[in-house]
Amino acid sequence: MSAQIIELNGVPVAEWNTLLARLEEVCDIADAKAASESETFPAVFADRLLSGESPLRVWRDYCSLTLQALAETCGVSRQMLSMIEHGKAAIG
């Protein structure tokens, strides 16, 4: 009995498959590194936004800021920020 080795461009197919698997792994690692360099948010942050909660309130809570602290940083009144969070005033 004889064995036949299938080749592609002079390289056995089994080696091609191994190379392709390694290439895919390298690409996955590169994608993971790129993703880890971007800012991410916890799932609860996204869940609150998806549930329709005020984006300003969600972000403010995420940053552990009080209305007063954010108002002082932005140069607006605490009441104005509260109105924006509750949809009673628009930005811009």
Together in a domain, 26 and 50: no
Q: CB pairs under 8 A, 24+ apart, for 78-86?
A: 81/56, 84/54, 84/56, 85/54, 85/56, 85/57, 85/60, 86/54
Read off the pLDDT of residues 1-12 as tens digits, 9 standing for 90 and up: 566 667 777 778
How many domains does one find in the chain? Answer: 2
Together in a domain, 29 and 60: no
Together in a domain, 78 and 47: yes
Together in a domain, 30 and 52: no
In a domain, 28, yes or no: yes
| Whole-number average pLDDT of the chain | 87
State the pLDDT confidence band at 22, using cuts at 50, 70 and 90: very high
Residue-number span of the structural domain to which 52 is assigned: 43-85
State the pLDDT confidence band at 34, using cuts at 50, 70 and 90: confident
User: Is pTM, for the whole model, over 0.75?
Assistant: no
In a domain, 91, yes or no: no
